[in-house]
Structure 1
């Protein structure tokens, strides 16, 4: 994985995006790279409570964390900003912060909130707009099971329609005993995305002790993300 900024989006909420971001950060840090994680809008977390960026640091280790704005209610950022009376974050704010972090870090991971088109502000600004301003590639974190093909393809189409580079897809939560849909989706996800499958993070990865997480993270991610995971071998081993 080359230097610069990588935007990490999910196909929706609760797909394992934060843990997948931590895995990418851990692998990069283990390779001797300086890493920062930027969370533009943290929702559903109150002041003093750990947010997603804090979780990335806990799991990945020596990583700079920056959070631009925090809203207490677990809502889309634009809605949470409106209800809280706090200022919204805008795509330009995200791009400026990521650019600033990139000056002193080899890799900046920008972790979105929910899916690609979740609104930051009342004008409709999104993570996709921030990625466009940054001219940064986008990594999509998807769920494994039934329904993921539709949301993954829609996300991929939107990225390409905006002229954005889709680096690949990582499955954010792979069960110990995956069902038939999950096993079949290993072959189908790269087809609908038009991009490679670049990893599968175990469902229990976030519960590991940090040292164990860092030691194992490279085995969950493909070479393009600094790891040793092989999509062909993994798919063959779990063939549907």
Structure 2
């Protein structure tokens, strides 16, 4: 796997921190890494974007590339139209990722929001770039209520387009998870049909870069260059299955 698409099942669910953690774990495993952010929205000209945040957290050896930047925090197509700037095509995204893959062991392409957010007037999305690249897509999901539906819908959208879903990572696992989060953890794989490949602790992005880099492999499963075990995590956090009481033999 030289190119991995990273998409959220929504916005503000930890996609950039997960991308940074994958980059940090890969660097720790001795791999060269590039982070490609095709469209950065809602960030001013001199402000650091998501790709720069990945470098800050994962380390200076990570190559950061941003293709387009739009000032308003909107979908890329809408933000481009309102700003009068050019949109991005799937071909441009694929070409940039392929170019980076020639010099890096792993290229992480971080999308904007969810999988089917529009990048241009024709309605192209990150999924179209994934098809051109033949690259798998990792879904970053929230922990709480609603995640089973949103994650399953994203997984079905991948399958409907004959794209590969590599797995699911929980972007922010609560320090004290409620019952919904714990039950969702057990049901995500069954609902989405994708393996659970990690869970980042709440507040991971606020760690110092040194602590973040040291901890990142413990949050991610081996396919993402980590040591995290889904079975162990489920054994710790998932509630025991509900078992109905045995019928009263006396019929009372």
TM-based fold match above 0.5: yes
Equivalent-residue separation in structure 2 for 1:229 and 1:185 (angstroms): 18
TM alignment of 1:79-228, pairs within 5 A? 79-228=78-227
Q: Per-residue deviation at 1:192? A: 1.2
Equivalent-residue separation in structure 1 for 2:85 and 2:194 (angstroms): 38
Q: Per-residue deviation at 1:203? A: 1.2
TM-score (norm 2): 0.94
Equivalent-residue separation in structure 2 for 1:179 and 1:68 (angstroms): 39
Q: Which residue of 1 aligns with 2:55?
A: 57
Q: 1:104 aligns to what SS in structure 2?
A: coil
Q: Which residue of 2 aligns with 1:42?
A: 40
Q: 1:89 aligns to what SS in structure 2?
A: coil
TM-score (norm 1): 0.98
Q: Which residue of 1 aligns with 2:69?
A: 70
Q: Summarize deviations over 1:186-230 as a string: whole Å, max 9, x none.
A: 111011110110000011100000000000001100111111111
Equivalent-residue separation in structure 1 for 2:117 and 2:130 (angstroms): 13
Equivalent-residue separation in structure 2 for 1:131 and 1:91 (angstroms): 8
Which segments of structure 1 move beyond 4 Å, counting only runs of 4 or more? Answer: none
Equivalent-residue separation in structure 2 for 1:163 and 1:129 (angstroms): 11
Q: Summarize deviations over 1:12-69 as a string: whole Å, max 9, x none.
A: 1011000000000000011111100000000000101010001000000020000000
Q: 2:102 aligns to what SS in structure 1?
A: helix
Equivalent-residue separation in structure 2 for 1:101 and 1:92 (angstroms): 14
Q: 1:119 aligns to what SS in structure 2?
A: coil
Q: Per-residue deviation at 1:239? A: 2.1
Q: Summarize deviations over 1:54-111 as a string: whole Å, max 9, x none.
A: 1000000020000000000000000000000000011111000000000000000000
Number of corresponding residues: 238
Equivalent-residue separation in structure 1 for 2:32 and 2:222 (angstroms): 18
Equivalent-residue separation in structure 2 for 1:82 and 1:239 (angstroms): 45
Equivalent-residue separation in structure 1 for 2:108 and 2:3 (angstroms): 6
RMSD over equivalenced CA pairs, Å: 0.6
Equivalent-residue separation in structure 1 for 2:202 and 2:88 (angstroms): 31
Name the larger-Rg structure. 2
Q: Which residue of 2 aligns with 1:27?
A: 25
